[in-house]
Every structure is written in C-alpha cells, then in structure tokens.
Structure 1
Amino acid sequence: MGELLGVFAAIMFGTSHFFNGVLSRRIPAMSVAVYSQAGGAMFFLGWALSIFWTQGELEPMGDQDFGWAVLSGIGAGIGVAALYEGMRKHSISLVVPVTSIVSVAVPFILSITVLGEPLQLHTAAAGVMLLPVIWLLSRPSKQTSHPNASVRESRRDLFAVSYGLIAGAGYATQLFALSQITSSTPAEPLLTGQLVSLLPLLTLAWLRNSTLQPKKATLQAATVGLAAALAMAFYLYATRHALLGPVMIAIALYPAIPVLLALLVLKERLSRAQALGLGVAAIVVPIVSLAN
C-alpha cells in the first residue's frame, strides 16, 4: 500500500513540475513558485477546515511536528525556487533528473543510516535500476554539429546541474522532514510547512524586485499547486504504510512523467535512450510496489 501511494505521489509530483516548468517559460519563475505554493496552502487550509467542521476540533500539533513542518517548508521554498528557475533557463530533461537523484538519494541514505531501516533485496535492485533510468531519461533527442556548440552546451549543462543540486537538496530536506511528522491528521503540519515555504520565495522576489501581480498564468500555477499538495499528502501517508527507503525509490520515478508529458503535450520526440529509460521505468514500478 505504501509503495503504491508513493507511485501516485510520483505521478502528481511529475505532473505538477512539468506544467509549472512550462509556465515558468511564459512568466517569471518566481511568480510560478509563489502562486504554486499558495495554491497548495489553500488545499491544506481547506483540508484543515473540513476536519474542523466535521469533528469540531483539530488535533493539537506537537512541538516536534511543528519543527519538522517548519524545516520541510524551508526546504520546499529553496527547492521550488531553484527548480523552476532552472527549468526556465535550462533543459527540463536535465534539471529534473538531477533534482530527483539528490532529493531521493539523501532521504534514502538517511533511512538506512539514521533511521536504521533494513535494506531489502527488491529495494536495492530497484535503486540500482533507477540510476540508469534517470540518466537515460535525461538524454537529449537531438545533437548539434556546430563547432562551438559543445563548449556552450557544457557550460549550460553545468549551470543546469547546479540548479538541480540546489533544488534536490531543498526537496530532500522537505521529504525527510515530512516523513517524521506523526500527527494522525497532518493537515495542520502540512499547512504550516506550505506557509513557511512562501517566506524564502517572497524574500527572493523582494530582493529581485520580481512582480507578483496576478495573471491568468499565475492562477494556472496556483491550480497546479493543488496537484503538488496532493502529492505531498500521498507521500506522507505512504511513509506511514511502508519503510521510507522503498517509498523514496517510488518517488524517484517522477522524472518519467515530465518526459511522457513533453511527448504528449509538447509533441517532443523521444530519443532512443529516453525510450529505453521509460521501458526500464516500467519494470521498476512493479518492483517498488512489492509488499514489505
């Protein structure tokens, strides 16, 4: 059950990142990040209010859950800002896989070294298969023959990887912190983290004099933020029904979603490497869905 929820979370994460990545090419990435997180906050606020209306009260949030929620929000704010800015300036097929590797690898390692979770055979096999999947999905579909192209592309790739590393570190912090929240009805901690994530984003927007005036595209970003919030809820409940390690392997499959959507929505063509990566990903999914 937990691994399956992790797969659902990966689908929602990948979908939200793709559409917000497309929006970040039409409007400032900071606006996309802010309105996306605000949309997610509205989702969690509605969830909390629905619990209050049906039960008459919310479960009090303990100090530990509050601390983990704040930490998750800080990580999310950094991750969202770096990811959308990276997707705006560089190739989505490079920034997203690097982000995925870092954001999954860190919590996965912590689940073994800090939480003491056992490393199961099917989890280890899926993790080994996952690395070539992410690498294959990041391969470009076309090659250029311009004599100076390789130098320019190398520089662009270096900056793209840098954005991916920063975004991955932010998301790794968020995902690990969320996995430590223990409230039986986590709407309040999730709402707290979502609101905290807006603080670094609004600070960056202020420092860069970015305009945040509502437009049609920003409202679309807020709508996409609902999908990202739903992904977080799926992920949190996944960590309660399975070990963190297998759930992180499932989450790491989300780079396949932007590639598929680029094929279906943007009519991009897959390279042979990307097609092979999708094929291997189709094998990894049932492996991570095995019961513990």
Structure 2
Amino acid sequence: MTSELASMLYALASGLTWGTGDFSGGLASRHTPVLIVVTLSQSIGILCLLGVIALSSEPLPPWRDLLFGSGAGLAGVIGLTAFYQGLARHPMGLVAPVAAAISAMLPVLVSFALEGLPAAPQMLGLALAIVAIWIISQSGGMTAIQRRQFQFKLPVIAGLGFASFFILIDQVSQGTVFWPLVAARCTTLALLASIILGKRQWQLPPRRRFPVIIMAGVFDTAGNALFALAANVGRLDMAAVLASLYPATTVLLAWFILKERLNGKQWIGVMAALVAVLLMAL
C-alpha cells in the first residue's frame, strides 16, 4: 500500500469517526451545558490516548512537537466548543456546511503554499470534494424563520478552529502521532478547567447522559488520531479535505436517529464525494 493511499484511508476513517463524535456531542449538548460535555469528553479522550501510547510504546517526542500539539489542542477545543454550541442552537444542516467548508479550504491553501500544487486529477478531486462537503451537510425542511435567525459566528469560529488544528498537527515530526495529541488534550483540559472554575458552573450530568458523552469523547479522539496518521504519511490538503467529509456521517445519523430529512441535493453530494475520492486516488 502506498503512503498516499494509506493517508486517504486514514483521512476517510477520520471523517467517519469525527462525524459520529460530532453527532454525539451535539446531541449531548442539547441536555447538558456545552462546557461540561466538552470537558468530560476530552477527559475520556486523554485516557484513551494514554492507553494507546502504553500499547504502542511511542517515544516522547521533542518539545517542538508537543508545542505544536498544544497549539492544535487550543485551536481544536475552541472550534469544538463553538461547533457544539451551534449544533445545540441551530439545525445541524445549517451549522455543519459552514464549519466544514472553512475547515477544508484553509488547509488546502496552506498546503498549496508549502507543498506545491498536486496533479490535475487531485486538484479536480479537491475542488469537487469541497463542493460535496457543502451540499452533503445542508438539509431541507428548515423554515425561513430558522434561516433568518441563523448566525454565522459560531460555525465560522468552529471552521477556523478545526482548520488551525489540521494545520498545526501537520507540523509535528514524521512518525510522531499520539504524544502531540496528549499535549493537545492537556492544554484543552487546563483551559476548560479554568473557565469552569471561574464561572462556578461545574455539575455532573445525570447518569443517563454519560453514554452519549463517552461516545463523543471516544470518537472525537479516534478522529484526531486517524487524521494525525493521515497527515503524517500524506499531503495536508488531501487529508484535510477527506477528513472534512465528516458532515456526511453527522447528517446521516441525524436522518436515521433524529428523523431529520435528507433531500435530493444531499444524495447528489454523496455521489460527488465518491467521485472526488476516486479522482484523488488516481
């Protein structure tokens, strides 16, 4: 298996797990304060990462990699908190496309500047994938009032946070995956703890809310690790765009579980995404 193909598979798996994690986190945030959901899910994530490190025996990397990991964690938690707040306040089909499009396009521009342009089929695949991301993550059945009341601030912040995570985690040394993510989680938890203590808002949710919060933590962490692997062995633009297909998972779960309707355009988006993946694999 070539490194390019491995990177694509890691990135696609990252999008699948991130989409599941975002759906779980958004669902949990409808009943539990966002800061509590993010703090608990991030705590679960760091336990998962430490377990993986113990099994893989990954050596401690240079401080440079840990600093990039910390920066990525700070950007990621800002994006994740804004995303969960957006999902809790607005329909998923309005929040997801804005955040996903921004999180895909910025790493593409950075990758073009640092790594040069990819071949023509890959360029076409990248463009088609970004269009597919926008189409897939939109949903019908929303009223004109919902659209007028929709505010772009939260999904834009989410997209910028996710894009910064992609760019920063791509800067770690090749072969280093899990320790920078631990540094990211430690930074995240320190920030969240200071905010919660300052607001004096800490209160554990009821036990029945924990399963979906645990799912959010496990899947979000798995998505981070898979993206780090994708960026480690391949191009940033390919990894970021394929991972940003996560709204497909989110809206499909919303359709299946929450009965949010999928429209014909979204199915066109799914087909466009499949064609884009094939083009990028050439």
TM-score by length of 2: 0.89
Q: In 2, distance between residues paired with 1:98 and 1:132?
A: 12
Q: In 2, distance between residues paired with 1:168 and 1:47?
A: 28
- Residue 65 of structure 2 corresponds to 65
Output the amino acid matched with 1:213.
Answer: L
User: In 2, are the aligned partners of 1:37 and 1:194 still within 8 Å (CA)?
Assistant: yes
C-alpha change, 1:156 and 1:44, in structure 2 (3 Å) is same
Q: Does 1:97 align with 2:84?
A: no
- 1:121-159 per-position Cα deviation (integer Å, ceiling 9, x unaligned): 222212221343233234332254xxxxx4x434422x2
State which of 156, 175, 179 in structure 2 corresponds to 1:184: 175
- Residue 146 of structure 2 corresponds to 153
Alpha-carbon deviation of 1:259? Answer: 1.3
- Residue 22 of structure 1 corresponds to 27
Superposed, 1:130-209 pairs within 5 Å as 130-142=129-141, 144=143, 150=144, 152-157=145-150, 159=151, 161-182=152-173, 184-209=175-200
Q: In 2, distance between residues paired with 1:42 and 1:100?
A: 27
Q: In 1, distance between residues paired with 2:60 and 2:142?
A: 56
Output the amino acid matched with 1:267.
Answer: K
- Residue 3 of structure 2 corresponds to none
User: In 1, are the aligned partners of 2:72 and 2:169 still within 8 Å (CA)?
Assistant: yes
- Residue 227 of structure 1 corresponds to 219
Alpha-carbon deviation of 1:212? Answer: 3.6
Q: In 2, distance between residues paired with 1:45 and 1:123?
A: 36
Output the amino acid matched with 1:47.
Answer: V
Task: Note the aligned Cα RMSD (angstroms).
Answer: 2.0
- Residue 83 of structure 2 corresponds to 83
User: In 1, are the aligned partners of 2:174 and 2:232 still within 8 Å (CA)?
Assistant: no
**Which has the greater radius of gyration?**
1
Q: In 2, distance between residues paired with 1:83 and 1:228?
A: 13
Superposed, 1:233-244 pairs within 5 Å as 233-244=225-236
Q: Does 1:120 align with 2:83?
A: no
TM-score by length of 1: 0.87
- 1:24-72 per-position Cα deviation (integer Å, ceiling 9, x unaligned): 11211221111111111111111222345xxxxx523212102101101
When the two structures are aligned, how many residues end up with a matched partner? Answer: 276
Q: Which runs of 5+ in 1 are unaligned?
A: 53-57, 145-149
Q: In 2, distance between residues paired with 1:44 and 1:223?
A: 15
- Residue 247 of structure 1 corresponds to 239
Output the amino acid matched with 2:87.
Answer: M
User: In 2, are the aligned partners of 1:65 and 1:183 still within 8 Å (CA)?
Assistant: no
Q: In 2, distance between residues paired with 1:272 and 1:261?
A: 17
User: In 1, are the aligned partners of 2:24 and 2:212 still within 8 Å (CA)?
Assistant: no
User: In 2, are the aligned partners of 1:123 and 1:245 still within 8 Å (CA)?
Assistant: no
State which of 41, 45, 61 in structure 2 corresponds to 1:40: 45
State which of 261, 273, 278 in structure 1 corresponds to 2:253: 261
User: In 1, are the aligned partners of 2:100 and 2:134 still within 8 Å (CA)?
Assistant: no
User: In 2, are the aligned partners of 1:39 and 1:226 still within 8 Å (CA)?
Assistant: yes
User: In 1, are the aligned partners of 2:107 and 2:167 still within 8 Å (CA)?
Assistant: yes
Q: In 1, distance between residues paired with 2:179 and 2:270?
A: 37
- Residue 55 of structure 1 corresponds to none
C-alpha change, 1:69 and 1:139, in structure 2 (3 Å) is closer
C-alpha change, 1:156 and 1:201, in structure 2 (3 Å) is farther
Q: Does 1:106 align with 2:99?
A: no
Q: In 2, distance between residues paired with 1:220 and 1:153?
A: 26
Q: Which runs of 5+ in 2 are unaligned?
A: 1-5
